[in-house]
Chains A and B, each alone.
Chain A
Amino acid sequence: MIEAKGVALRYPDQTLALKNIDLEIQPGELIFITGPSGSGKTSLLKLFLGMEYPTSGYLEVMGQLMNPTQAKAIRKLRRRIGPVFQEFKLFPGRTVFENVLLGHRFLHMPKTDLKENSMNALEKVGLAHKAFSLVENLSWGEHQRVAIARAVARKPLLILADEPTGNLDKENALKILNLLASFKDNKTSVIITTHATHLLDCEKYDKLIAIHHGVLQLERIG
C-alpha cells in the first residue's frame, strides 16, 4: 500500500521536516503515528497525499510513484484516498450533506449512489440528523465528524486522519478513534496521527509509529 525508502522532506525554507524514512504499510493495516508537536506527523501524511514531494528517497503509494512529474496521476490517486485534515478544510456556506456530497461527486458514479454514500457516511458518524444544517453552525466535534464522513463516503482504500482527536474530551476522542478504526477492512488501511497515546489499545492497531524531530521509530507492533 505504501512503500518508503530513505525518504526525506526539506521545506523550501530549509526546515528538514522528515529524515531518512523507511516504512512499509500493507493493505488492511491500522497504523497510529504519534510524536510531539512539530515532529513531522502532518508532513508525513502530506507526502502520502502528494501535497509535498520527497526531496530525496523513494516513495510509492498504492503503486503510484510520488514525484512531481506524476502530478496528473497523483490527482487521480487521491480519489482512492480519504483525507481528514487537521484543520478540516470543510466547504463553508454549505450544508453538512452538501459537504459530504461535494467531497466525491466528481467521481464517476451514478447520482443516486453518490447521495446514498453520503447519507450512509453521515449515519456512520452519527450526524444524519444534522445533514441539512450549515457546517458553520456545528460544534468542533461535529466538524470533525463531517470531515470523517466526507473522507469515507468515497469508500477509499486508504484513510489518512491527521490529529482527529485534537481538542476533544477523552470520551469523544475515544469514540472518534474507534469510529476511524472501524473503517479498516482487509482492503482498506487507516493511518491516524494523534497525541492521545494513552487512549490507544494495542489490541486494535497493527503498528504504532513515533516520530521525533523528523526521525521515525517503530514503537510497537500490535
Chain B
Amino acid sequence: MMKNYRANAAYFIKEAVTIFRFNLFSNILSLFSIALIFFIFAMMFSGWQISNHAAEALQGEAEINVYYNQNIGTQGIFQLSEKIKGINGIKKVRLVDEKEAYSRMEKILGEESSVLKIFDENPFNPYLEIKIDLEQTDLVLNGLKVLPGIEHVRNNKEVLDRVHSIAGTIRIFGSLVLFAVGLSTLVIVSHMLRQGIEHNREQINTLRLLGASEVFIGIPYLLEGLLLTMGGGILSGLASEWVVRKMTVQLASVLPFMPFPQAGVLCQQILFALSALSIFLGIAGSMLALSSAKPD
C-alpha cells in the first residue's frame, strides 16, 4: 500500500502542478490572496510581539528606590539588602552609591547637567535600587515597611499600577486581535482551497468511479494546497521581513524611549509563525476541502 504511494510520488507532484496550471489564473489569484492575508497576519503578529516586548520591558523596569539610614555602615547595608532579597516579589537589589547617583542625574539632565556644578559636594545620597514583580507591589511595600534601617522608600505606586494595567490590557487585546486574524486566515484560506477543488470536482468523481482510493485522489490536492499556502507564506515572509526592518528603524527614531525588539529576532519569530501557519493551513485546509467535495 505505502509502496504504491511512494512509487507514485513523482506523479503526485506532477499532478499537483497540472492541477495548478489547469486553473492557472484562479490559482495565481489565490496565491496572491493567501500571501496578502498572511502578510496582514504577519503585521498583526509583529504588532503583538512589539507591544508584548514593550509591556515586558516596562514591567522589567519597575523599580523602587530605598534610602537607608546613612549610619548603618557597610555591614548594615549588606544585611539590609539581604533582608530585602528575602521578601517575596523582589527580583534584584543593587546598591547605587553617591557617585553613580550623581552620574545618573548627569545623564538625565544631559546638556543642562552643568547646573550640578554649582554644588561643592555631591548632593546625592546612595540608595538601594530594587527591581520588583509588579504583580506583588503591595506585598513588597508592606514587607519593606517593617524592616529597620530604612529611612524612606520612593515607589511611584500610582505609576507602577498604571504600567501594570497597561501591560495587561496590551496583552489581552493583542491576543484577541491576533486570534481573530488567525481565525479569519484559516476560514479564507480553506475556502479558497475548496474553490480549487470544486473546479476539479468532475475529475475527482470520475476517479472515484474508476476505483481510485480517497488517499490517491487526495494527495495531489494536499500538495497543491501546500504549494499555495507555502508559496503565499514565502511571499508574505519576504514582504514582512522588508517591512519589519524598515518599520523598526523608523519607529525607533520616532519613539526613542520605547523599547523595541531586535528586528532580526522579530523576523525570525514571524518566519516561524508563517511557516507553521502555512503548513498547518495547507494540510488542514485541503483535508477540509476534500471531505466537503464528496460525490453528490
Q: Is the pair A51, B209 in contact by a Cβ cutoff of 8 Å?
A: yes
* Residues of chain A lying within 8 A (CB to CB) of residue B136: none
* Cα separation A150 to B209 with both chains bound (whole Å): 12
Q: Which residues of B contact A89 (CB under 8 A)?
A: 202, 206, 209
Given contacts A91-B203, A93-B22, A94-B18, contact A106 B212 (CB under 8 A): yes
**Which partner residue on chain A sits nearest B205 by CB separation?**
A89
Chain A interface, DSSP helix/strand/loop, else mixed: loop
Contacts A89-B202, A91-B206 given: A78-B211 contact, CB under 8 Å?
yes
Are A108 and B211 in contact (CB-based, < 8 A)? Answer: no
Does the CB pair B210–A104 fall under 8 Å? yes
Interface of B, helix, strand, loop or mixed by DSSP: helix
B253 on the A face (CB < 8 A): no
Shortest B112–chain A CB gap in Å is: 77
What residues of chain A lie closer than 8 Å to B207, measured between beta carbons? 102, 106
Hey, which chain B residues are within 8 Å of A75, CB to CB?
208, 211, 213
Confirm or deny: B11 has a beta carbon within 8 angstroms of a beta carbon on chain A.
yes
Q: Which residues of A contact B21 (CB under 8 A)?
A: 93
A5 CA to B206 CA, complexed, in Å: 28
A105 touches B210 (CB 8 A): no
Closest residue of A by beta carbon distance from B206? A89
Check B74 for interface membership: any CB of A closer than 8 A.
no
Q: Which residues of B contact A111 (CB under 8 A)?
A: 7
Which partner residue on chain B sits nearest A111 by CB separation? B7
> Please, which residue of chain A has its CB at the minimum distance from the CB of B214?
A75
Sorting the interface of chain A by its residue count into under 10, 10 to 19, 20 to 34 or 35 or more gives 20 to 34
**Size category of the binding interface on chain B:** 10 to 19
A124: CB under 8 A from chain B?
no
Interface pair B216/A106, CB less than 8 Å apart? yes
- The closest CB in chain A to the CB of B23 belongs to A93
In the complex, A63 has a CB within 8 A of chain B: no
Residue pairs across A and B with CB atoms within 8 Å: the count is: 45
Q: For the complex, give the distance between the alpha carbons of A85 and B208 in Å.
A: 13
Contact B209 A108 (CB under 8 A): no
Instruction: Point out the residues of chain A lying under 8 angstroms from B142, CB to CB.
Output: none
- Interface residues in B152-199 by Cβ distance below 8 A to A read none
Residues of B within 8 A of A76 (CB): 211
The verdict on B8 contacting chain A, using a C-beta distance below 8 Å, is: yes
In the bound complex, what is the Cα–Cα distance between A111 and B7 (angstroms)?
8
Of chain A, the residue at the smallest CB distance from B5 is A106
CA distance A103 to B11 in the complex (A): 13
Min CB distance B26 to A, Å, is 14
Bound: A79/B212 CA distance, A: 8
A111 to B202, CA, bound (A): 26
Please give, as numbers and ranges, the residues of chain A lying within 8 Å of B206 by CB-CB distance. 89, 91
A115 to chain B, nearest CB (A): 12
B9 to chain A, nearest CB (A): 11
Q: Tell me whether B22 and A77 are in contact (CB under 8 A).
A: no
The answer to whether the Cβ of B114 comes within 8 Å of any Cβ in the partner chain is: no
Contacting residues of chain A (71-106) with chain B, CB-CB under 8 angstroms: 75-79, 81, 83, 85, 89, 91-94, 102-106
Candidates A77, A92, A150; contact of B211 at CB < 8 Å: A77
Q: Does A49 contact B (CB under 8 A)?
A: yes
Question: B4: CB under 8 A from chain A?
Answer: yes
Contact mask for chain B residues 125-153; partner A; CB cutoff 8 A; 1 contact, 0 none: 00000000000000000000000000000
Q: Which residues of A contact B212 (CB under 8 A)?
A: 106
Nearest CB on A from B30, distance (A): 18
Q: Which of A100-144 contact B (CB under 8 A)?
A: 102-108, 111
Q: Closest CB-CB distance, B88 to chain A, in whole Å? A: 63
Residue from A76, A81, A83, A106 having most chain B Cβ neighbours under 10 A = A106
Q: How far is the CA of A79 from the CA of B209 in the complex (A)?
A: 9
In the bound assembly, the distance between CA atoms of A89 and B295 in angstroms comes to: 15
CB-nearest residue of chain B relative to A103?
B210
Contact B4 A78 (CB under 8 A): no
What CA separation (Å) do A150 and B203 show in the bound complex? Answer: 14
Q: When the two chains form their complex, are residues B18 and A93 in contact, meaning their CB atoms are under 8 A apart?
A: yes
Closest 5 CB pairs of A and B: A78-B211, A79-B211, A106-B212, A106-B216, A89-B206
A-B contact pairs, 19 of them (CB 8 A): A49-B209, A75-B208, A75-B211, A77-B211, A78-B210, A79-B211, A83-B209, A85-B209, A89-B206, A91-B203, A91-B206, A93-B21, A93-B22, A94-B18, A103-B210, A106-B4, A106-B8, A106-B207, A108-B1
Using a CB–CB cutoff of 8 Å, the interface residues on chain B facing chain A are 1, 4, 7-8, 11, 18, 21-22, 202-203, 206-213, 216
